[in-house]
Structure 1
Amino acid sequence: MEKLISRQLLSKVRSENLNESIKMFSQAKETRERKKYSFEVSIFLSHKHNETEIIKQAIALFKKLGISVYVDWLDSEMPKTTNGYTAKRIKEKIRECDKFVLLATEEAIKSKWCNWELGYGDSQKYFKNIAIMPITDNEGGTFSGSEYLAIYPIITSAYTYSTGTYYVEFEGKKVKLEDWLKN
């Protein structure tokens, strides 16, 4: 297995071209609108809301690969306070997006919303179009996650200290992240 992605490594992806990342982040809604009329690949990014910086870094990584990323707090149709419509809208977006990725930080794994989204994503995307992106606190760190997370493909990196090639690994096989996203 390749190395898990650390917070430090993910931050380097974004800092490599910070101005471009900020521009891409601000254009996320426009990109999602274009998706309706094109063949652009999209992912639903499940995440813990209070981890804004790491979410922006993950978005930058996927944008660098030419992927449209849906995050609920950028959705103007989401209510300010969670309610039944929130759940309905999230279900719609999970179905609409081509892929589902759980940004699996320790906090996200504890989140009832992330677990609910993963369960729904499992029913809609399993197993070809769903992956876990474990984020470790330190370079070379390990991921403990809940037992049930072991049934999903995981996103890893070939590098510990510099950005480069990312993979999706599952049951002893690995494929480049770009290839997985586009298949």
Structure 2
Amino acid sequence: MTISQYELRAAAARNLSLKNQRTRDYGQKTGFLCHSHKDRDMALGLQQWLKEQGMELYIDWQDPCMPDAPDGTTANRIRAVVKDADVFLFLATNDSMASRWCPWELGFADGVKRNEQIALIATRDASGNYYGNEYLQLYRRIDQASAGNALYWYARGSQSPQYLTSF
């Protein structure tokens, strides 16, 4: 089931102290989140959701190494983190689809990651508008389980869910 933007925002409210918890457990999966900064609340919600399932999610504006204004340093830092992360996640919203940075990040990830290390998080807004269908056939996707807060991977073209740790 496509993830509702409302559900992502609600997940952010479960734990607002995430930026102070940057320790990584040995063997813990890591992800890079490609998103629009206008979707800050949804990014935090996804970070919380994945944290509850054992994955650490990198969000660039939480990184103290990032400059205040985007520049070449920003791009180099993003390259390094994307290469280092286990997976690359694209949060598809109206704002990320219109972003200048998101397509660049996705293109970079497509060039340095295996296809199974890239996943799309398609979303729907309160009006029922759906975002992410442009990429669904290229990459894995992450959907919400029909009951509860679990998120599942779906391999490209598959209807069979897998646990997040199965990539």
Q: For residues 13 and 51 of structure 1, what CA distance do their matches in structure 2 show?
A: 13
Question: Is the contact between residue 30 and residue 86 of structure 2 (CA under 8 Å) also seen in structure 1?
Answer: yes
Task: Check 1:27–1:177 CA distance in 2 against 1; reply closer, same or farther (3 A cut).
Answer: farther
Kindly, what percent of the aligned residue pairs are identical? 29
Paired residues, what number?
166
Q: 1:99 to 1:106 in 2, by over 3 A?
A: same
Q: SS of 1:102's equivalent?
A: strand
Shift of 1:155: 1.0
Supply the distance in 2 between the matched residues of 1:68 and 1:42 (Cα, whole angstroms): 5
Deviations along 1:144-166, one digit per CA (max 9) or x if unpaired, are: 5463453111111232xx63332
Flag structure 2 segments of 5+ consecutive residues without an equivalent. Answer: none
Which runs of 5 or more residues in structure 1 are unaligned?
none
SS at match of 1:179: helix
Q: Distance in 2 between matches of 1:68 and 1:145?
A: 23
Partner of 1:80: helix, strand, or coil? Answer: coil
Equivalence for 2:65: 77
What is the root-mean-square deviation in Å for CA atoms of aligned residues? 2.1
Higher relative contact order (CA 8 A, sep 6+): 1
| TM-score normalised by length of structure 2 | 0.88
The 8 Å contact of residues 10 and 57 in structure 1, kept in 2 or not, is answered as yes
Which structure carries more helix by proportion? Answer: 1
Structure 1 outlier segments of 4+, above 6 Å:
none
Give the alignment's TM-score, normalised by structure 1.
0.81
Measured at CA, do residues 148 and 13 of structure 1 come closer, stay the same or move farther in structure 2, by a change above 3 Å? closer
- Contact kept in structure 2, 1:4 and 1:156, CA below 8 Å: yes
